[in-house]
């Protein structure tokens, strides 16, 4: 059974802004989303729970520089996308 990706309005706004600055990452981003739907625990995603003020959220890697932050709701098999961007921006 696949996971469901949930796109909030605030996430979609951040996503549009991200791709205006980084259109070259679209292919890697789409692959990341596909893997998330199939298996969020796939090793190439490097899924990990965050700490500190973001301790309710999880992160996966788009590549070595860019991350996708999300809520990981295992019971409902939903992944609520929260933010996308470079390491320093999404973890602040």
pLDDT in tens, 27-68: 999 999 999 999 999 999 999 999 988 888 899 999 999 999
Reduced to 3 states (helix: H, G, I; strand: E, B; else coil), residue 37 is helix
How does pLDDT run across 62-87, given as a tens digit for each residue?
A: 999 999 998 887 667 888 998 888 87
Extract the tokens encoding 81.
């996308």
Cβ neighbour number for residue 81 with a 10 Å cutoff:
20
What gap in Å lies between CA 72 and CA 59, rounded to an integer? 9
What gap in Å lies between CA 27 and CA 83, rounded to an integer? 18
- Give the pairing of strands 66-73 and 48-49: unpaired
Distance of CA 60 to the CA centre of its chain: 6
Which residue segments constitute the domains of the chain, with CATH numbers given? 4-90 (3.30.2310.20)
Q: Which pTM does this prediction carry?
A: 0.87
What gap in Å lies between CA 61 and CA 44, rounded to an integer? 8
């Amino acid at each position: 059974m696949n996971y469901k990706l949930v796109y909030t309005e605030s996430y979609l706004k951040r996503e549009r802004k991200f791709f205006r600055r980084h259109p070259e990452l679209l292919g890697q981003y789409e692959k990341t989303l596909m893997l998330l739907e199939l298996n969020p625990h796939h090793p190439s995603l490097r899924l990990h729970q965050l700490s500190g003020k973001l301790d309710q959220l999880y992160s996966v890697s788009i590549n070595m520089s860019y991350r996708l932050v999300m809520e990981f709701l295992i019971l409902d098999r939903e992944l609520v996308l929260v933010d996308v961007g470079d390491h320093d921006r999404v973890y602040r």
